[in-house]
Structure 1
Amino acid sequence: MTSELGVEGFIHIILNLLCLGIAWWALQAFRFDLFVKNPKSTQAALLKVLAAIALGHLLARFFIDYFGAVRFLPYLF
């Protein structure tokens, strides 16, 4: 039981990091210079990092919830 929780935690960490990377990559196509005063500033870079973390977390949470729901489908029938 404990090892299963450890593996599940490890999968969650890897999935979160993977989704963070995907969100960062996707945000590279977004033109932040249209929405911030100084796009080269530290604040603009921090905004991009925070947006990537937020989007990555939402994406990872979606997949974690989806796979959690799929695990319960055999109990439907």
Structure 2
Amino acid sequence: MNSNLGFDGAFSSLGVTGLFSIIITISSILLAWYLLQELKLDHWFKHPRSPRARVLIAVLSVIVGHLFARFILDYWSWTNVLKLI
């Protein structure tokens, strides 16, 4: 019965890491969306509040937010590996 305790701890650790990654990624996408609202879309679109313009902002938010989250998560992973040296 005690041998399962190691697996439970490992799965719990993976769960916490996954939850942390999800929170960081969603937060980064929301931050990117908030910051991209400041773009002047008048230069690219005739109607800057149209559905096309909003979809563009949403897609750009996901792309930029994901890249930023990946950087944060990679940096966090690298610092954890450096602890082992």
Q: TM-score, normalised by structure 2?
A: 0.82
Q: Which AA in structure 2 matches 1:67?
A: W
- The farther-off stretch of 66-75 and 33-42 is 33-42
Q: What root-mean-square deviation, in Å, do the aligned CA atoms of Structure 1 and Structure 2 show?
A: 1.1
Q: Report the equivalent of 2:57.
A: 48
Structure 1: distance between partners of 2:57 and 2:46: 14
Give the superposition deviation at 1:39: 1.3
Give the ranges of 4+ consecutive aligned residues of structure 1 lying more than 3 Å apart after TM superposition: none
Provide the C-alpha distance between the structure 2 equivalents of 1:3 and 1:74, rounded to a whole number of angstroms: 21
Percent of aligned pairs with the same residue? 34
1:24-76 CA-to-partner distances (Å, cap 9, x unmatched) read 11111111221223212211110010011111101100000000000011233
* More moved, 18-27 vs 34-43: 34-43
User: Does the residue aligned with 2:47 lie in a helix, a strand or coil?
Assistant: coil
5+ long unaligned stretches in structure 2:
1-9
Matched residue type, 2:63 = A
| Number of corresponding residues | 76
Computing the radius of gyration from Cα coordinates, the structure with the larger value is 2
